[in-house]
Amino acid sequence: MRKLFIGLILLLGLLFILNHFTQFDVIIDVLQRSDWRFIGLALLFIAAWLLCTAATYQAVFAALGVERPVAPLVPLAAAANFVNVVAPSMGMSGMAVIISDARRRRLPSAHATVAGALFVLFEYAGFALYLVLGLIVLFRRDDITGPELAASGVLAVMTTILLVILYLGMRAPNALGRFLRWIARATNKLSSPFTKRKAVSEDRAEQFAHDIAEGLRSARQPRKLLKPLFYALLSKGMLLCVLTAVFLAFQVPLSIGTLIAGFAIAYLFLIVSPTPAGVGVVEGVLTLTLSSMFVPLEQAAVITLSYRVLTFWLPLLFGFLSFQFLQIRPSFPSSS
């Protein structure tokens, strides 16, 4: 929650800076000339994105031998996203929601654990194509910078760690337990100068390894994993369509390169950010990225803030309502 508060402070700071360096009357003019029918279209794309997210979960569960209807997974996926934002714990909080729901439905918790890990992996893999295309666009326009390359490197490391975890879970469960315990020990050692308690429980890390190995026993056919990868790619395409609709709503000239690069950088810093879901960071980075690609600063600011309202704040509200409706009370990962 403290990180979310810091993100909100950053967002307020960004709004103050934009107010100082942009002409407010130009922003008002952009809003007045907008075509709100495209905002309605963007809302339809958001609904499609939520459906694709739920379909990704459904396909992952199916690959693990657990058949679940897609409709109940829509609010569940939204609730998991909400918990990941308000109680960030290295991506584990949202997984706790999935596990809690599985236990409530008397489904194997080990499968839910693996489903959560695979979902994150497919989210990264599905985004990888858009990131590569975005970086190519920035490189060709000579707009690529060190922070973007560094963030891409961090994402690559995170994806590699997930792949190693899943591979060891399939091939060498005992080695996975040792590997996760080592990661937990290293994380606690690095965080000890900043916190007075352990950031990650080593015992829980080893239990996580056991659950991963147990759940992966039924997912040894790689072709079963193509379907969730397809839905992950499609879900990112829906978000790209949202950004396109926002450009059209405010009658801002656009190109495919600008759209792909802007989306790729925004989503990259949503993942690799010190604040939950990139609050305060994505807004600044996307505004600067669009501005560097010859979108006037006032229009870039309006597009960025509108895009974030549609893709972050509205889903967060839906996630909150879903969390309350489902009455899930996950046990969050312990810090000790």
- The predicted structure's pLDDT at residue 238: 97
Q: Does residue 17 fall inside a structural domain?
A: no
Q: Does residue 51 fall inside a structural domain?
A: yes
Q: Does residue 66 fall inside a structural domain?
A: yes
Total domain count for the chain?
1
Q: Does residue 74 fall inside a structural domain?
A: yes
- The predicted structure's pLDDT at residue 328: 58
Q: Does residue 24 fall inside a structural domain?
A: no
The predicted model gives 111-134 an average pLDDT of 87
- pLDDT above 70: residue 32: no
Digit-coded pLDDT (tens) for 305-335: 899 989 999 999 999 999 888 865 544 444 3
- The predicted structure's pLDDT at residue 167: 79
pLDDT band at 200 (very low <50, low <70, confident <90, very high): low
DSSP string, 36-92: HHHHHHHHHHHHHHHHHHHHHHHHHHHHTT----STTHHHHHHHHHHHHHHS-STTH
Helix, strand, coil % over all residues of the chain, rounded to 5 = 80, 0, 20
Q: What is the DSSP letter of 197?
A: S
Q: Which residue has the higher pLDDT, 3 or 171?
A: 171
DSSP string, 79-128: HHHHHHHHS-STTHHHHHHHHHHHHHTT--HHHHHHHHHHHHHHHHHHHH
Digit-coded pLDDT (tens) for 54-104: 999 999 988 888 888 999 999 999 999 888 887 755 556 777 788 888 888
pLDDT band at 134 (very low <50, low <70, confident <90, very high): very high
Calpha distance 11→39 (Å, rounded): 22
Task: Of 40-49, 148-157, 267-276, give the range with the top mean pLDDT.
Answer: 40-49
- The predicted structure's pLDDT at residue 131: 93
The parent domain of residue 310 ranges over 2-10+29-326
Q: Does residue 16 fall inside a structural domain?
A: no
Average pLDDT along the chain: 80
Q: Does residue 107 fall inside a structural domain?
A: yes
Task: Of 174-178, 279-283, 312-316, give the range with the top mean pLDDT.
Answer: 312-316
Digit-coded pLDDT (tens) for 103-119: 888 877 777 878 888 88
Please tell me the pTM assigned to this model.
Answer: 0.82
Q: Does residue 332 fall inside a structural domain?
A: no
- The predicted structure's pLDDT at residue 17: 45
The phi and psi torsions of 332 (rounded to 5 degrees) equal -70, 150
- The predicted structure's pLDDT at residue 7: 46
